[in-house]
Amino acid sequence: TFKLDPTTNSSIFAPTLSMVAGLSIYFATRALPIVKPVVLFDFDGTLMDSEYLVINGFAYLFQKHRSLDEFTKDIQKEVFLHPLKEEISRLFPEENTERLSREYRAYMKNIQGKHLVETLPHVKETLKTLKESGYVLGVVTGRYTDSCQMWLDDLQISEYFQIVAGTEMYRHTKPSPDGILHTCDLLKVGHDSCVYVGDGVKDVQAGKNAGVYTIAFVTNEDKRKALEEAAPNRIMNSFDELPDILKEQHSWSADLN
């Protein structure tokens, strides 16, 4: 029978404390259930393909208050960069911002239900999958809540969202974290259990400022470089990538890569 020489240093056969701790953590985390984060979404450009709609809304204002010839391609790109009132104030400095905002919203409401816009590819089936899998979903948008809700109804996706937070519900717009933090408070969830998905740099900045896990959705290759420089936690190129990302087993905060 083999016997260990008593003069042999038996510690070389014993696992070190660090090895034991490492193995314990490994097996413990493997046994833990996957934590489902709350998933919050930007609306325009992330869920709804609203580019055509927004451009037409501003074209209406230019035709009425300036000149349609002044609504150049460069300005058409710029109207997506800021909240509605900021953009109207910048483009129509001589006009009353509140009045033009009401005109814009009335125009948009008038074309509601005319099927001029649709969800982005894979949005409907992905939202359905997430809802059926037990995820709590919400929208944090620069739109007014009633406007966003009407479009969610029109697009037949409102049933998937537990909460819709429009710009009048919080103090400062993106890149401020106010909207995201306010929604997290309403849902009673911490920043380490929340994901924010958006298609713009300000979406990423707002998510990072709130301390939540950010996913940049590239819907236009012209935006890719700026989104990469904003340093989100993840970048996805197609909406149906989202379920697999959410299955990853870790906490969901901005300090994860």
Give which of 191, 226, 249 is closest to 81, Cα–Cα: 226
> What is the pLDDT, as a whole number, of residue 47?
97
Which runs of consecutive H residues, i.e. helices, occur in the chain?
17-31, 51-65, 73-78, 84-91, 97-110, 123-132, 145-154, 178-187, 201-210, 224-229, 242-246
pTM for the model = 0.79
Q: Is 18 helix (H, G, I), strand (E, B) or coil?
A: helix
Phi/psi of residue 227, nearest 5 degrees: -65, -40
- Distance CA(62)–CA(58), nearest Å, equals 6
Q: Which two tokens stand for residue 36?
A: 């489902």
User: For residue 8, what is the DSSP state?
Assistant: S
- Distance CA(149)–CA(163), nearest Å, equals 10
Round the average pLDDT of the chain to a whole number and report it.
87
Q: Look up residue 63 and give its amino acid.
A: Q
- Bridge-partner residues for 217, per DSSP? 236
Instruction: State the sign of the Cα–Cα–Cα–Cα dihedral 34, 40, 41, 43.
Output: positive
- Distance CA(203)–CA(157), nearest Å, equals 21
> What is the pLDDT, as a whole number, of residue 25?
46
Residue 188, Cβ density class (10 Å: 0-12 exposed, 13-18 middle, ≥19 buried): exposed
Give which of 231, 194, 219 is closest to 47, Cα–Cα: 219
Phi/psi of residue 156, nearest 5 degrees: 65, 45
> What is the pLDDT, as a whole number, of residue 114?
61
Sheet holding 234-236, edge to edge: 163-165, 137-140, 38-41, 194-198, 213-217, 234-236
> What is the pLDDT, as a whole number, of residue 255?
84
Which residues of the chain carry a pLDDT beneath 50? 1-4, 8, 10-13, 23, 25-32
> What is the pLDDT, as a whole number, of residue 11?
47
- Distance CA(257)–CA(251), nearest Å, equals 11
Q: Which two tokens stand for residue 251?
A: 């906490």
pLDDT tens track for 100-120: 999 998 998 887 666 678 999
- Distance CA(155)–CA(119), nearest Å, equals 7
